[in-house]
Amino acid sequence: MKIKIKKPHNLQALYAKAQNDAKKHNITWQGNLEQGHGEGYGFKGHYVVDEEYITITVLKKPLLATKARIEREVAAYVAMAVTEPHC
């Protein structure tokens, strides 16, 4: 399953929050501002960032996690990450 989300203007803030959250929640994650991969909480996948989008490829997900739900959660996380004052 692939999810494309519009790349935020402040990609660095999103990256910093994702790094911090991965450590805090014991999620295995390696990557940079261009690409990476990770797994945790029943999910496994990778991401690639281009000029306009972040493309997330979900390789494994919990049975009850629908694509629509994952898309909503990812969009909400990105919006929150780039608007938080401490990022």
> What CATH number has the domain bearing residue 50?
3.30.310.50
Structure tokens at 55: 């493309």
pLDDT of amino acid 80? 85
| Segments of the chain with pLDDT less than 50 | 86-87
The number of folded domains in the chain is: 1
CA distances from 13 to 18, 47, 65 (A): 9, 16, 26
Intra-chain end-to-end CA distance of the chain, in Å = 29
pLDDT of amino acid 87? 44
Per-residue pLDDT tens for 40-64? 999 999 999 999 999 999 999 999 9
Interatomic CA distance for residues 72 and 63, integer angstroms: 17
pLDDT of amino acid 85? 58
- Give residues with Cβ within 8 angstroms of 2, minimum separation 6: 55, 56, 57, 58
% residues pLDDT > 70 (the chain):
95
pLDDT of amino acid 27? 93
The residue segments making up the domain with residue 62 are 2-83
